[in-house]
Amino acid sequence: MIVLRRLVRFALAAGLLALVAPLVTMPVPAAVAQEADLQAEGEKAVTAWIDAVVSGDVDRIRAILAPEFQIVRADGTAYDKDAYLASNLPRFPNAPKMSMLVVTGHGDILVARYVLSTGGVRGDQGEGPQAPRLTVFRKDGDTWLVVSHANFAAIQR
């Protein structure tokens, strides 16, 4: 009888341990590290995109755009890759500053939302000093290509 009780206690303890062990050994630091890596990777991708556009160099911008690229602005203007490159590309009076970056991703896709302080890039039309952006990237080799970009800057007409 004593042996049977001990066996039951042991089985219960083993069962409880089997349930609790995965919770105790969960790789929380690994998940935190992955999130930090994703955020850093997203920041690099967004910075490369901003730097290319600020440069005004059409070839440099072309190199970072995916073939399926689309852009849409708050005023409803929208372009595919070829039309965007042929358009009146924005000119930046000062280097823009990025803030409030939030990055999500899965596999070879990154989605970044952020606020860009541009100081106005559309001349007489004006643009607010800060405006949210949403950019989607696709990994191609070692490069993050811009698949789509939404610019929510209020354009005054």
Looking at residue 78, its amino acid is A
pLDDT of 124 reads: 46
pLDDT of 129 reads: 67
pLDDT of 18 reads: 55
Instruction: Tell me which CATH code domain 28-151 carries.
Output: 3.10.450.50
Tally Cβ neighbours within 10 Å of residue 65.
21
Backbone phi and psi for residue 151, each to the nearest 5 degrees, phi listed first: -115, 115
Which positions of the chain have pLDDT values less than 50? 8, 16-17, 20, 122-126
Nearest to 146 by CA among 156, 157, 133, 128: 133
The alpha carbons of the chain give a radius of gyration, in whole angstroms, of 25
90 Cβ contact partners less than 8 Å away, ≥ 6 residues apart: 53, 118, 121, 122
**Residue where the block lists tokens 């643009």:** 127
Rounded CA gap, 53 and 157, in Å? 23
Looking at residue 55, its amino acid is S
Q: What is the pTM of this model?
A: 0.74
